[in-house]
Amino acid sequence: MTVVESAWAVIAWPFVQLWGFLTNLWNWATDRLQLEDIVLPAFYDSAVWLTNQVPLALGGGEAGEMIEASFVLGIATFFTGFVTGGAAWVLIGLWVVTGLLGVARFVPVVGRNWPIPEWSIGDSSSLGVL
């Protein structure tokens, strides 16, 4: 081993150890760690429930479910806005529009011709795509 190789080995050793540590940490976090293991059950269940409201608010259920889901997501977005510094409040307009679409679905011709079938995000007992 030359002097340059020996010097490089001494310099590179901490970085090799750091890279190995970060790799092992990433593998643990992505393979073994589940969101439901680190979050309180009440918060996790609330997140699952709110996630399952999104398809209803976007027209994936009946008209009444669309209005209720839009209202619930509007309230959740309002309170989330305090955490995000108001950035989430832009979505309140979306939930108002979807709620008004739900009201419009009470008109028989609109309800009969509603183009969106019932759908959901993943499994209703988990966060689906999250």
Residue 20 lies in a domain: yes
- Give the global pTM: 0.63
Q: Does residue 114 carry a pLDDT above 60?
A: yes
Q: In this structure, are 56 and 105 located in the same domain?
A: yes
Residue 127 lies in a domain: no
Q: In this structure, are 42 and 88 located in the same domain?
A: yes
Average pLDDT on 97-112 reads 89
Token representation of residue 108: 């028989």
In which domain, by residue range, is 15 found?
Answer: 1-33
Q: What is the mean pLDDT of the chain?
A: 85
Q: Residue 119: its pLDDT value, please?
A: 65
Residue that wins the pLDDT comparison between 109 and 32: 109
Q: Residue 122: its pLDDT value, please?
A: 57
Q: In this structure, are 79 and 106 located in the same domain?
A: yes
